[in-house]
């Protein structure tokens, strides 16, 4: 009926037009195009058109998006030094947030500013490959990873989709959380603290189980006379001469037994921070902990020693885990293909960001290795990890180091509060990382003056950034002469 009415209206108007038209007959397509234009002109005044277009979002032109600036704010996570949060601004008024790894310098990010300004942030992989040469293991990767997070935040906002969608979508709608618990040398006190974690809703636990728990008891450690545990903090574990005696091994096993008696055997219980002990002590301790069905033993020795890790893993019937300080996929591949550990443990703020960590998880899965994730920072990096965990099939649980900080949730807006709900975090469906900074709360918890102040001093930081030999462009003779004061 509507189509017939429209057809009748169309014919009447065309007949009327033909009577007054002196030239060739107007075709139907021409008429419709002209009619639409005339109708628009008749219905819309210039003022109306300007008002309507002023309300149109112009920040949804991803192909024309450009990075224009990088700024930094130093924010507390509740303990320790401030964490640099970077903000990438664009020519379309949208911005993206990233976070430099806990303990790393903001310089690691700022030095990248001149290399990424002018780039389209939606070309995430291209920009990442341009800057990834400036990262390295542990905290030195912080700047590269922060930029990568901010790129995904911007791309998500430009296209209107959550970051996990760029990684292939979700395997889960909520992410399991685990958390460290404040240490006590009294196992009964510590066990009660772990019990409260379960009462909070956590379904996965982790404890610190270091030789500091037994160091004051004579006969528990063999070490060079006069050597203290502080003396070896900057030495790798195998080079300290510290070994645990049978008495010390038994004390540490009894400590875990006391915790298991309170929390039960059903909940996964991981352990970390063993101390700078040798490989043989790691094996003896691991064997002693077998009756308590530990979820994993973490970072018993430095990650670089693949063969020694394999020796430990093959000698005990407890899962082993490492990886929070590893940058990029290739070192993880060495660990996984040799089955040196049972579980890998990347920190997204070290490993290379969201996409690289997703690739690491997929590679590990191909080798039958599961992936947990380390995290210690603000909600910015936390939610970047949430998106990555959602998109990685072999994921187990994500660490949360600020679970006891009452104002930590207030640093951002966007996600439902509390952020951790009965041991899980819902995966955001809002664009990008799904969080915006709460300016008032962040300013309350700055560790250095200044809230995303301009950084023009980093605008021209340049060098010949190439991974291969090449010939730089020749300067004109007059410029060379000027440089040489000739």
CATH number at residue 74: 3.30.390.10
Q: Which residues of 194-225 are buried (b: 16+ CB within 10 A; e: fewer)?
A: bbebbeeebbbbbbbbbbebbbeeeebbebee
> Are residues 68 and 117 in contact, defined by beta-carbon separation less than 8 angstroms?
yes
DSSP state of 433: T
In order along its 486 residues, the chain shows pLDDT tens digits of: 333 444 444 444 344 444 444 444 444 444 344 444 444 444 556 566 455 545 445 556 898 999 999 999 999 998 878 999 999 999 999 999 999 999 899 999 999 999 999 999 999 999 999 999 999 999 999 999 999 999 999 999 999 999 999 999 999 999 999 998 888 999 999 999 999 999 999 999 999 999 999 999 999 999 999 999 999 988 999 999 999 999 999 999 999 999 999 999 999 999 999 999 999 999 999 999 999 999 999 999 999 999 999 999 999 999 999 999 999 999 999 999 999 999 999 999 999 999 999 999 999 999 999 999 999 999 999 999 999 999 999 999 999 999 999 999 999 999 999 999 999 999 999 999 999 999 999 999 999 999 999 999 999 987 777 777 766 666 555 543 443 343
Q: 472 lies in a domain?
A: no
CATH number at residue 196: 3.20.20.120
Q: Are strands 67-75 and 83-90 parallel, antiparallel or unpaired?
A: antiparallel
Tell me: do 333 and 381 sit in the same domain. Answer: yes
Containing structural domain, residue 184: 174-444
Alpha-carbon separation of residue 74 from 26, 29, 247, 338 (angstroms): 68, 61, 46, 40
C-alpha–C-alpha distance, residues 414 and 345, integer Å: 28
Identify whether residues 137 and 184 lie together within a single domain. Answer: no
Q: How many domains does the chain contain in total?
A: 3
Q: Are residues 315 and 396 in the same domain?
A: yes
Q: Are residues 284 and 406 in the same domain?
A: yes
* Six-digit token string for 271: 């352990």
Could you tell me if 384 and 297 lie in one domain?
A: yes
Of 468, 397, 388, 399, nearest to 428 by C-alpha is 388
Which is it for strands 370-373 and 343-344: parallel, antiparallel or unpaired? parallel
Check whether residue 69 and residue 45 sit in a common domain. Answer: no
Output the pLDDT for position 466: 75
Chain centroid offset of residue 154 CA: 14
Final residue in a domain of this structure, among 11, 35, 54: 54
Same domain, residue pair 403 and 284:
yes
Distance of CA 185 to the CA centre of its chain: 33
Cβ-contact 352, 327 below 8 angstroms: yes
The verdict on residue 242 lying in a domain is yes
pLDDT for position 470? 66
Is 325 contained in some domain?
yes
d(CA 444, CA 75): 9
Identify whether residues 120 and 47 lie together within a single domain: no
pLDDT of residue 361: 98
My answer on whether 392 and 295 are in the same domain is: yes
Q: Is 148 within the bounds of a domain?
A: yes
Same domain, 244 and 305: yes
Same domain membership, residue 342 and residue 235 = yes
- Rounded Cα distance, 314 and 306, in Å: 12
Q: Which tokens belong to 324? A: 């929070």
| Whether residue 225 is found in the same domain as residue 245 | yes
Residue 463 belongs to a domain: no
pLDDT at residue 39 in the model: 42
């Amino acid at each position: 009926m509507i189509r017939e009415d429209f057809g009748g209206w169309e014919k009447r108007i065309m007949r009327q037009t033909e009577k007054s038209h002196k030239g060739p007959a107007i075709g139907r397509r021409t008429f419709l195009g002209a009619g639409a234009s005339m109708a628009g002109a008749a219905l819309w005044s210039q003022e109306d058109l300007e008002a309507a277009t002023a309300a149109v979002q112009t920040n949804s032109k991803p192909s024309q998006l450009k990075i224009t600036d990088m700024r930094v704010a130093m924010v507390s996570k509740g303990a320790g030094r401030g964490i640099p949060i970077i903000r990438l601004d664009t020519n379309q008024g949208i911005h993206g947030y990233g976070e430099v790894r806990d303990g790393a310098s903001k310089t690691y990010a700022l030095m990248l500013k001149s290399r990424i300004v002018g780039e389209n942030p939606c070309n995430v992989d291209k920009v990442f490959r341009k800057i990834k040469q400036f990262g390295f293991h542990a905290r030195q990767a912080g700047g590269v990873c922060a930029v990568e997070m901010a790129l995904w935040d911007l791309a998500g906002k430009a296209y209107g989709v959550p970051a996990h969608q760029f990684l292939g979508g979700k395997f889960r709608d909520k992410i399991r959380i685990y958390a460290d618990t404040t240490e006590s040398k009294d196992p009964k006190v510590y066990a009660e603290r772990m019990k409260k974690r379960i009462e909070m809703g956590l379904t996965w636990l982790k404890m610190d189980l270091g030789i500091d728990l037994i160091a004051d008891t004579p006969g528990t450690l063999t070490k060079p006379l006069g050597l203290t545990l502080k003396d070896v903090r900057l030495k790798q574990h195998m080079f300290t001469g510290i070994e645990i005696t049978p008495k010390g091994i038994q004390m540490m096993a009894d400590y875990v037994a006391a915790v298991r008696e309170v929390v039960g055997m059903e909940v996964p219980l991981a352990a970390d921070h063993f101390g700078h002990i040798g490989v043989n002590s790691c094996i003896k301790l691991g064997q002693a902990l077998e009756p308590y069905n530990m979820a994993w033993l973490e970072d018993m020795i430095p990650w670089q020693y693949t063969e020694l890790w394999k020796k430990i893993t093959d000698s005990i019937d407890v899962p082993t885990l490492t990886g929070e300080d590893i940058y990029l996929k290739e070192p993880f591949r060495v660990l996984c293909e040799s089955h040196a550990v049972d579980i890998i443990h990347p920190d997204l703020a070290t490993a290379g960001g969201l996409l690289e960590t997703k690739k690491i998880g997929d590679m590990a899965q191909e080798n039958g290795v599961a992936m947990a994730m380390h995290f210690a920072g603000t909600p910015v990096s936390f939610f970047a990890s949430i998106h990555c965990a959602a998109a990685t099939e072999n994921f187990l649980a994500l660490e949360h180091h600020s679970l006891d900080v009452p104002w930590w949730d207030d640093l951002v807006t966007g996600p439902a509060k509390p952020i951790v709900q009965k041991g899980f975090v819902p995966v955001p469906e809002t664009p990008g990382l799904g969080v915006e900074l709460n300016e008032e709360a962040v300013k309350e918890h700055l560790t250095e003056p200044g809230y995303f102040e301009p950084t023009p001093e980093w605008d021209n930081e340049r060098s010949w950034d190439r991974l291969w030999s090449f010939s730089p462009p020749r300067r004109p003779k007059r410029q060379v002469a000027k440089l040489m004061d000739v």
